[in-house]
Structures are given as structure tokens and as C-alpha cells.
């Protein structure tokens, strides 16, 4: 029965799984078929040059040093171009240079074409995977660690390239080279060829016995290296906490322990690899001794020439190289198969929120919003919101208030369609949001999240994130509205200053103002604000609030309020508790009619602080 699984130094090679991965991604290689065929042509050229490489030495020994210039077609050819051994030697040296130059040319031609095809395949595959990830809502992405997704976009892609591109050419080249060398050896001398392959079983036995141990040692080493990387990531990402709690020495000791474990695992791997190398080297040396003993005796008896023996030994030493490469290639394919399977897993994820086949474009929106019996559960049994009935007129300003976990942020996420309601419907201008395309829906909405997110781009690009074509004049105008211009213009390059990672070079209040400018620049029909004045002093807060509280802002504005001052500026206050709406109305009316709302206002800001998180039933 055909064996489908093999152990390699880099893992188990499952031919069935490798075939499945190949079939899944083979379409990416079809457009590169001509490059691959040309690369295969270069590989064939390399094979021919490697077969020809030892022959100048044979000519020197058999015809020039022995002064035998008339016993074969080679001697006749030399006599035709030169009359003396010295002149013939010049032609042989030129032949050596031609072979070397041709070999280098063919190898360069092959490698460049392979690299070009590989980079194109990886580039297209990576772009498709990144595009697919962007179709997944935050809830789906939260099920996968960011580091894992980054690994699949980078390292896993390069390993998959080994199987989709390099493995094809390398397998073909090394197989043909090995067959060509073996055929040449048997043509030169069948007896010596048989002696040369007699020690192969010993090398195979050593590989089968030691390779599984190497695989385990390599796996252990990688686990240790992963632990080091995870520890370093955690410490570097929380350096302020480490330094604030004087944890430097403790973390250094933890790192040293993990580092020592990694070093020990690495040494064990090296020892096992060295052991395998010794066994294979001894087997090769034993084979060479047999060939030299029999071969030299054959030369002395006149059965073969010294040049024949030199060519044969060159082929014998060369045949081990493609064998080692093919063994290494099997390990690479095993690892590439695992990487390809992980990439395929991501491609297989169907977004939980997507456009319906008959979804319509939302072109002009007045901003009317209606929640009709909306309920939603994040996955557990306890609903995040339930029985939500709420109507908001265009251009109204609405405040969402309530304790942590009341369901406020969940309503915002449902309106943005990060999730679809478990029950009920949400309407914008009497159009069910589930019937609208995601892109056109979100084009109508400006959103400022409490956890401000900025990108490593210029300040102007961050403000114009939702409108990349916005003119600089309009970007500066909206920055002035939210009092961001005053600190932006003091930056080294003003609006062209590139922000650091996540905008950490700015204060929290500065980041919040840029996020608010970003939302206002979009001129949205609906504006969603999650405590937009976070991190601002009182004077700046009032000025910034005027930017979205003024009559010039005609967007329907929903604000999650954590501080309950100046609530009479809202048309309605929506009081939530336990995922339900327990009160709706203007501030003064609700204050008089709802004891819960009056209690929340009396409690002050400290009782109403919200720390929202993705994918959890909080606010």
C-alpha cells in the first residue's frame, strides 16, 4: 500500500494534506507558468554543466599528461585545434572557464525567474488574504490573536511559496541531476557504480533513526524561542508598567531562564545533526575507499584510465548533494504544508456580517434612525440588549447614558453593523440596515471611539482617513474647529508630521481631537461619539463640544455620555440598564420622572465610567 505520511527533520509530510494545499492554492501559480518553464530550462542548463564539469580534468590526465593525443575522438579534437600538449592545455582551461560561466549564467537565470515568480505569487496571495481579513467584522477577528494573523501574512506566506514555486523546480532539478549522475556513473563503470550505491542503505538507516529525534529537538527549540518572543513582546509592550513597579531585574531573570532553555535545546539539536552528519560522512568515506581501492587497481591493470576514475569520483561526490537537497526539500514541504493549512483556515472563515445578494446602496440619507424590537447576544446565554424600541429624528442630538454593561456601546456597534441583530431590525430612513451594503452604510456614519486609534501616517492623512481626497484647506478648517490646529502646527512638520505607533507621541486629548476632526471631515449624516471629550480639560472640552453641538452640525448625533453635565443640550436622553431602555426624554423631564436617571446624575461621573471592549457584553 502506498505510504502517504513520512517523517522529516522539519515535521511529518502528509502527501494527502500537501496535495490538498496545492490544489487550494494552485491557481496562484497558473499565471506564472511561463516563468516556471523558463526557470526549468535554466535548471536543465545547470545539470548539463555539472555533468560536463569533471571532463576537463579527465582530458588533462588521459591526454595531456600522458601525451596520448591519438587514441579517441577527444584526442582527435585536441589535435585539430592544437599541435602541442601546451596549446591543448590552453584550450582545456578555456573550456573550464566556459563551463563555469555557463553554469553561473544558468543558475542566475533560474534563481531570478524563480524569485520573480515566487514574489508575484506571494504578493497576490498576501493581498488576497489581507483583503479577506478586512471583510471580517471585529467579532470574527477577535477570535484570532493579532500575532497569529501577522505570522500568516508574513512567515507562513514565505513557507507556502516553497511548496508552490521552489519545490516544483527544485524537486525536478535535483531528481534529474541525481538520475543523470547515476546514469553517467553506470555508463563509465557499472562495477564502481554498484560499489558507490552499496552504502546508501546505511545512510538511509541513519536518517530514519536520527531524524525523528532531530525533529523533536527542533520542535522543542522552537517552543523555547516562541516563549522568549512572547515574553519579550509582553515586556516591551508594557514597559511603563515594568518600570513603574521596578520589575526590570525580575523580568531580566525570567528572560535569562528562558534564554538558557533555548540555548540547551539548540545545542541538543546541533549534537543530533552532527551525529547524523558523522554517520553519513563515514558511510560516504567507506564508499569512497571501496571505489578508490577497486578503481586504482583497475587503472593499474589498464581496465580504465586515471581520468575515468577522477570523473567517477567527482560524480560520486556530486550525487550526494541532490540527495541531501531532496531530503531537506521534503522537510520544507512538510512545514509549508502546515503553513498552507493555516492560511487556508483563514480564507475559510466566512464573515458573520456581509452584504446580501440584493443589498442596495444608501445614497442620500437624512439621518432618521429606528430600532424596532432589537435584541442581540454576543454568544452566551445572557443578552447584551433586548427589546430595544427607539426612534430618532434626523439631526437630533441623543445622549446614551447608563452604568457599565448597560448596552450603550452594543447599540452603536449594531448601528455600524459590526454585528447583525439577533432579533428585530434597525432602520435608517426606513431602510433596514441589513438590506444596505456595508460600504454605503458606513459611508454615512462618522464614529469616534473612546479608545482613539491613529495610524503611523501623517497627521493630515489620519484626519482624512475617511476622505482621502479632502483638500488641505478643509483638513485645516476642521482641525481648527476641534482646537487641534494649535498643537498640530507646533509639530516638527505640522500636518505632514508622521505619527508614531498608534499615535503614542501625542497625548490622549490630542489623539481624541484628531479622531473627532476625522469624523467631522467626513460630513456624515449620522455621528456616533463615545465620550468625545475624554482627556480634555474643561475649557477645551466646552470648545470642542461646540463643534458638534452647534447648529452647523446637521448630522444625527448619538453620544455615549460618561459625565452627565449640561445634559439639557441634548434633544433626548436615553437611559439604559441591563440591556434595556428604561427611560427616554429630555433631560429635565427624565430627571423628574426617572429615579434611576436622577440617581445616576446625582452619583456623578465616577459611577458612570465605561471601559468598552470588542466582543464582550459591556455597554
pLDDT in the model for residue 374: 92
Q: What is the DSSP string of 347-395?
A: HTPPPSS---TT-B---S----EEEEEEEE-SSSSS-SEEEEEEEE-TT
The per-residue pLDDT for range 61-109, each reduced to its tens digit, is 777 776 555 556 666 666 666 656 677 777 888 888 999 999 999 999 9
Higher-scoring residue by pLDDT: 155, 610: 155
Q: Is the pLDDT of residue 217 over 50?
A: yes
Q: Where in the chain is the domain with CATH 1.20.1560.10?
A: 10-188+326-350
Asked whether 307 and 57 are in contact (CB, 8 A), the reply is yes
pLDDT in the model for residue 476: 92
The per-residue pLDDT for range 109-161, each reduced to its tens digit, is 988 988 888 888 888 888 888 888 888 877 777 676 666 677 777 777 877 77
Helix (H, G, I), strand (E, B) or coil at 536: coil
Residue with grid cell 560516504, as numbered in its chain: 284
Which residues, in sequence order, are bridge partners of residue 375?
Answer: 423
Q: What is the DSSP string of 8-67?
A: ETTEEEEHHHHHHHHHHHTHHHHTTHHHHHHHHHHHHHHHHHHHHTTHHHHHIIIIITTT
CA quadruple 296, 301, 303, 307: dihedral sign: positive
pLDDT in the model for residue 614: 27
What grid cell was written down for 326? 531532496
Q: How confident is the model at residue 9 (pLDDT cuts 50, 70, 90)?
A: very low
Out of 76-85, 373-382, 462-471, 510-519, least confident range: 76-85
The per-residue pLDDT for range 520-545, each reduced to its tens digit, is 888 888 999 887 766 667 777 777 77
Helix (H, G, I), strand (E, B) or coil at 528: strand
Q: What is the DSSP letter of 606?
A: G
Task: For residue 164, give the nearest of 130, 125, 133 by alpha carbon.
Answer: 125
Q: Where in the chain is the domain with CATH 3.40.50.300?
A: 386-444+525-619, 454-523
Q: Which of 289-304 are b and which e, b meaning 16 or more Cβ less than 10 Å from the residue's Cβ?
A: ebbeebbeebbeeeeb
Asked whether 325 and 162 are in contact (CB, 8 A), the reply is no
pLDDT in the model for residue 200: 67
pLDDT in the model for residue 16: 66
The per-residue pLDDT for range 224-252, each reduced to its tens digit, is 776 777 677 677 767 767 777 677 788 88
CA quadruple 597, 602, 604, 609: dihedral sign: negative
Out of 133-137, 202-206, 566-570, 583-587, least confident range: 202-206
Out of 73-82, 393-402, 547-556, 572-581, least confident range: 73-82
The per-residue pLDDT for range 472-511, each reduced to its tens digit, is 999 999 888 888 888 888 888 888 988 876 666 787 778 8
Q: Angle at CA 27, nearest 5°, toward 21 and 30?
A: 125
Alpha-carbon separation of residue 93 from 49, 55, 80, 189 (angstroms)? 15, 11, 17, 26
Angle in degrees, 0-180, between the axes of helices 33-52 and 167-188, rounded to the nearest 10: 30
H/E stretch holding 483 reads: none
3-class DSSP string for 221-271? HHHHHHHHHHHHHHHHHCHHHHHHCCCHHHHHHHHHHHHHHHHHHHHHHHH
CA distance linking residue 41 with residue 36, whole number of Å: 9
Asked whether 403 and 604 are in contact (CB, 8 A), the reply is no
Out of 10-14, 193-197, 550-554, least confident range: 10-14
H/E stretch holding 612 reads: none
Task: For residue 347, give the nearest of 158, 157, 162 by alpha carbon.
Answer: 157
Asked whether 276 and 207 are in contact (CB, 8 A), the reply is yes
pLDDT in the model for residue 574: 92
pLDDT in the model for residue 350: 81
| CATH number for the domain running over 454-523 | 3.40.50.300
| CATH number for the domain running over 386-444+525-619 | 3.40.50.300
Q: What is the DSSP letter of 418?
A: S
CA quadruple 433, 437, 438, 439: dihedral sign: negative
Give φ, ψ of 436 to 5 degrees: -100, 150
> Averaged over 333-341, what is the pLDDT?
73
Q: How confident is the model at residue 6 (pLDDT cuts 50, 70, 90)?
A: very low
Q: What is the DSSP string of 301-350?
A: HTSS-HHHHHHHHHHHHHHHHHHHHHHHHHHHHHHHHHHHHHHHHHHTPP
Q: How confident is the model at residue 323 (pLDDT cuts 50, 70, 90)?
A: confident
Q: How confident is the model at residue 393 (pLDDT cuts 50, 70, 90)?
A: very high
pLDDT in the model for residue 542: 75
Q: How confident is the model at residue 612 (pLDDT cuts 50, 70, 90)?
A: very low
The CATH-assigned architecture of domain 10-188+326-350 is Up-down Bundle (1.20)
Q: How confident is the model at residue 610 (pLDDT cuts 50, 70, 90)?
A: very low
Q: How confident is the model at residue 613 (pLDDT cuts 50, 70, 90)?
A: very low
pLDDT in the model for residue 148: 67
Q: Angle at CA 148, nearest 5°, toward 146 and 149?
A: 65
CA distance linking residue 369 with residue 388, whole number of Å: 12
What grid cell was written down for 54? 569533471
What is the value of pTM for the model shown? 0.67
- Alpha carbon distance, N-terminus to C-terminus of the chain: 60
The per-residue pLDDT for range 279-293, each reduced to its tens digit, is 777 777 777 788 888
| Cβ neighbours, 10 Å, residue 572 | 20
pLDDT in the model for residue 340: 78
HSE at residue 405, side-chain half, CA atoms within 13 A, is: 4
Mean pLDDT for all residues in the chain:
79
Amino acid at each position: 500500500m502506498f505510504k502517504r505520511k513520512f517523517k522529516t527533520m522539519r515535521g511529518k509530510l502528509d502527501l494527502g494534506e500537501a496535495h490538498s494545499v496545492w490544489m487550494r492554492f494552485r491557481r496562484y501559480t497558473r499565471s506564472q507558468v511561463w516563468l516556471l518553464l523558463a526557470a526549468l530550462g535554466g535548471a536543465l542548463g545547470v545539470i548539463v554543466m555539472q555533468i560536463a564539469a569533471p571532463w576537463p580534468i579527465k582530458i588533462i590526465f588521459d591526454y595531456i599528461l600522458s601525451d596520448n593525443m591519438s587514441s579517441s575522438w577527444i584526442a582527435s579534437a585536441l589535435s585539430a585545434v592544437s599541435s602541442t600538449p601546451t596549446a591543448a592545455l590552453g584550450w582545456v582551461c578555456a573550456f573550464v572557464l566556459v563551463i563555469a560561466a555557463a553554469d553561473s549564467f544558468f543558475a542566475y537565470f533560474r534563481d531570478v525567474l524563480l524569485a520573480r515568480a515566487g514574489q508575484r505569487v506571494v504578493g497576490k496571495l498576501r493581498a488576497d488574504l489581507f483583503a479577506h481579513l478586512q471583510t471580517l467584522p471585529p467579532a470574527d477577528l477577535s477570535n484570532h490573536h493579532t500575532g497569529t494573523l501577522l505570522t500568516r501574512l508574513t512567515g507562513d506566506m514565505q513557507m507556502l511559496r516553497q511548496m508552490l514555486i521552489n519545490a516544483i523546480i527544485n524537486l525536478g532539478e535535483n531528481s534529474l541531476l541525481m538520475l543523470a549522475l547515476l546514469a553517467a556513473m553506470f555508463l563509465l563503470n557499472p562495477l564502481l557504480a554498484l560499489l558507490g550505491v552499496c552504502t546508501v542503505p546505511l545512510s538511509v538507516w541513519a536518517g530514519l533513526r536520527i531524524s525523528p529525534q532531530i525533529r523533536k529537538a527542533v520542535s522543542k527549540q522552537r517552543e523555547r524561542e516562541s516563549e522568549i518572543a512572547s515574553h519579550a513582546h509582553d515586556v516591551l509592550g508594557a514597559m511603563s508598567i515594568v518600570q513603574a513597579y521596578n520589575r526590570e531585574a525580575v523580568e531580566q531573570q525570567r528572560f535569562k531562564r528562558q534564554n538558557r532553555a533555548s540555548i540547551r535545546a539548540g545545542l541538543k539539536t546541533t549534537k543530533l545533526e552532527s551525529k547524523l552528519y558523522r554517520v553519513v560522512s563515514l558511510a560516504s568515506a567507506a564508499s569512497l575507499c571501496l571505489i578508490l581501492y577497486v578503481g586504482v587497481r583497475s587503472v593499474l591493470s589498464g581496465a580504465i584510465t586515471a581520468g575515468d576514475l577522477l570523473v567517477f569520483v567527482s560524480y560520486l561526490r556530486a550525487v550526494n548533494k541532490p540527495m541531501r537537497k531532496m531530503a531537506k526539500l521534503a522537510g520544507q514541504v512538510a512545514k509549508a504544508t502546515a503553513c498552507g493549512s493555516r492560511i487556508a483556515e483563514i480564507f475559510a472563515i466566512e464573515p458573520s456580517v456581509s452584504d446580501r445578494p440584493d443589498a442596495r446602496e444608501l445614497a442620500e440619507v437624512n439621518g432618521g434612525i429606528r430600532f424596532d424590537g432589537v435584541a442581540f447576544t454576543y454568544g452566551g446565554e445572557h443578552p447584551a440588549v433586548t427589546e430595544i424600541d427607539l426612534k430618532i429624528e434626523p439631526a437630533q442630538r441623543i445622549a446614551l447614558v447608563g452604568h457599565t454593561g448597560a448596552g450603550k456601546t452594543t447599540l452603536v456597534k449594531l448601528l455600524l453593523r459590526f454585528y447583525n441583530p439577533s432579533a428585530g431590525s434597525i432602520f435608517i430612513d426606513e431602510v433596514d440596515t441589513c438590506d444596505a451594503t456595508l460600504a454605503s452604510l458606513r459611508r454615512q456614519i462618522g464614529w469616534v471611539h473612546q479608545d482613539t486609534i491613529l495610524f503611523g501616517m501623517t497627521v493630515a492623512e489620519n484626519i482624512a482617513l475617511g476622505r482621502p481626497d479632502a483638500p488641505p484647506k478643509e483638513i485645516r478648517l476642521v482641525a481648527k474647529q476641534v482646537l487641534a490646529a494649535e498643537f498640530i502646527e507646533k509639530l516638527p512638520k505640522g500636518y505632514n508630521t508622521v505619527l508614531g505607533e498608534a499615535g503614542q507621541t501625542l497625548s490622549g486629548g490630542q489623539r481624541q481631537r484628531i479622531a473627532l476632526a476625522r469624523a467631522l471631515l467626513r460630513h456624515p449624516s449620522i455621528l456616533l461619539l463615545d465620550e468625545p471629550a475624554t482627556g480634555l480639560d474643561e475649557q477645551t472640552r466646552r470648545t470642542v463640544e461646540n463643534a458638534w453641538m452647534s447648529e452647523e452640525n446637521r448630522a444625527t448625533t448619538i453620544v455615549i455620555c460618561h459625565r452627565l453635565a449640561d445634559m439639557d443640550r441634548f434633544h433626548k436622553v436615553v437611559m439604559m440598564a441591563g440591556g434595556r431602555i428604561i427611560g427616554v426624554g429630555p433631560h429635565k423631564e427624565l430627571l423628574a420622572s426617572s429615579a434611576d436617571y436622577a440617581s445616576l446624575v446625582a452619583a456623578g461621573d465616577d459611577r458612570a465610567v465605561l471601559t468598552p471592549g470588542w466582543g464582550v457584553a459591556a455597554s
